[in-house]
Amino acid sequence: MRLGIVQALVDSSKEVNLTRAEDNIRQAVEGGADIVVLGEMFNCPYHNAAFVANAEPREGRSVERLSAAAAKHGVYLVGGSIPLLENEKIYNASFVFDRTGRVIAVHKKVHLFDIAIDGGQVFRESATFTAGDSITLFDTEFGKMGLCICFDFRFPELARVMALEGARCIFVPAAFNMTTGPAHWELMFRQRAVDNQLFTAGVAPARSHQGYVSYANSIAASPWGDVLYRADETPVNAVVDIDLTQIESIRRQLPLLTARRTDLYSIGRTGT
């Protein structure tokens, strides 16, 4: 499987962002990508006022344009995330399209980014967004894939459920900041990959110093914890080879998932 990683700058204009995404999807497919992944909030700036101003329904132009791009180029597309307006609520949502442009999955961010880091970032997604309530997987010709958004990936239980449900790679549109990114970004993607013996891929916006500052550094990690690809802070359009046969090989050599003691993993079972 060849993975297209699109780390792009985000403009204040939705039209600019959509046109840029279409061009990047084309370039990734020309580079041989089977699945292309965009960054979190690729179509608008990352702040609450922009989420409200750019919220749109499933029938809006962002989903329409992404669907058309997937169909035109015959590629699976993980459309980063957008502010989705649904039943008078706004969600941080990621749409997945198959090679015909059909929507095959929608993930609404489950864990909202409400944080206050001493000396660093303060942000409350819950001031605008409503949390989703589903774990998201989707089927491809390469097997089952998992999908979550940014802060979701900090919760190991979520990744473990996706692994147990058969996910071979977990895609994570994300936008870590300059406080948590240097500390945790690579560590987290390698850690989830090793613990669950699957591939992980995080795709972020490129870094701009206007407004929210993305750590960028889009990444792909193997089930052995190797970093297969890592960007810097600049716009990139990369295609990464993913050897899915490594999953079975590594799980056979180091049978972590089958050796679990689920009879012990509950609160109150500690020894005296």
Active site residues: 40, 109, 150
Residue carrying the six token digits 């089952």: 144
Residues in the chain: 272
193 in Cβ contact with 162 (< 8 Å): no
Nearest Cα to 81, choosing from 57, 60, 62? 62
Per DSSP, helices labelled H in 155-223 are: 156-164, 180-196
Mark residue 166 as left, alpha or beta (left: phi above 0; alpha: psi -120 to 50; beta: remaining). left
Q: How far apart are CA 227 and CA 158, in angstroms?
A: 21
> For residue 83, which phi and psi values (nearest 5 degrees)?
-80, 110
Cα distance between residue 176 and residue 183, in whole Å: 10
